[in-house]
Amino acid sequence: MLTLSLATLFFASGTLRAQQPPPPPPGNAPAPQAPNVTRVSVNLVDVLFTVLNRRNKLVPELDKPDFHVFDDNVLQEIRYFSKQTDLPLRIGMLLDTSNSIRDRLRFEQDASVSFLYSVLRRNKDEAFVMTFDDEPQVLQAFTGDTGKLRDQIVKTRAGGGTAIYDAVYTACQKELSHPPRPPGDQPDVVRRVMILISDGDDNLSIHTRSEAIQMAQITDVVIYTISTNTQWISTTQKDQATGGSLKYHLTDTDKILQSIADETGGRAFFPYRVDDLDQSFQDIGDELRNQYSIAYAPTNSALDGRYHKIRIEVPEHKGYQVRARQGYFARPNPAFSPTDPPAAAPAPKPGSSSDRKPN
């Protein structure tokens, strides 16, 4: 089975190159003709995704015939299919340390440390810690040492403005685009993941939300967002089963966090306490190690930089939910590098996948 590790759109060009012609033969013998050169180019879109049933449990036993993939609502032929399991994780932990989350900084620290201890596997997975207020800053480079990551997280202090989109863009472009390679025969096969903990209120970024999402799509980064907001907590309505407060709406900034997660194939979480996240962290780890991969050559192969929407369906199982990035950009330049500036992107629309579990 051929396994593809691609960014948002991978441009695979297979070229049969002509060898240098041999030296002319002695005497008057005719020189051999150089062989014809055949060039074959195939544009492939690779999508990683997970499938959940009605109970939000992973469905790992499906196969290629179970899936239909649509590119801008046009059914595509699936060229390659594989089940990606137990791959090394490369995680970017992004913490909002702006003044607006001062009262919830301890929550951020506890949630970050809890996630790393729940998901990071010794000698296999690695993570880095980045904070952002006026600008992003890497506190701890990639490491598999959970203790080092924790020590940097607990030292964080709040203050300054909020540049969320710059942080997402920079983390994808500079850190997650070229993460440390694991040893072995397939050193490039890793999962790129971002955990973004913030209130979602950006007020300083140079980059736009669309540019940040596009950079995540280009570098194949799945983003999970955790909101530090508490405005959606009702102080009067109570859950009869637990006596806890119920969430009754999402703020505009929560919807921004949700759209970032949805557009990149992740999930958004809106917890009140860190304890609410314990099972969710375990679920994220399971998801990232039990994914499917499909690749197709879009029928519309124009490399015009236009945004294409992707939809994956499981027609024989109507109750199944597919979690994947929602689109890609048909880059016109096969030599595209993540350091290139992105093309203009449409404003993402808030999606529907989120975890809203009453306390």
* Cβ atoms < 10 Å from Cβ of 51: 24
**Residues 199, 104 contacting (CB under 8 angstroms):** yes
Q: How far is CA 170 from CA 33, 193, 195, 210, 215, in A?
A: 51, 14, 14, 14, 9
pLDDT grade, residue 247 (50/70/90)?
low
What CATH number has the domain spanning 89-290? Answer: 3.40.50.410
∠ Cα 261 349 351 (to 5°): 50
Q: For a pLDDT cut of 90, what percent of the chain falls above it? A: 58
Cβ neighbors of 319 (< 8 A, separation 6 or more) are 53, 54
Residue type, 51: V
Cα 243 to the chain's mean position, in Å? 36
DSSP string spanning 30-58? PPPPPPPP-EEEEEEEEEEEEEE-TTS-B
pLDDT > 70? residue 358 = no
pLDDT on residue 108: 95
pLDDT of residue 148: 97
Round to whole Å and give the CA distance between 255 and 227: 10
8 Å CB contact between 109 and 97: no
Q: What is the pLDDT of residue 280?
A: 83
What is the tens place of the pLDDT at every residue in 211-226?
A: 999 999 989 999 999 9
Q: What is the pLDDT of residues 150-169, one digit of tens each?
A: 999 999 999 999 999 999 99
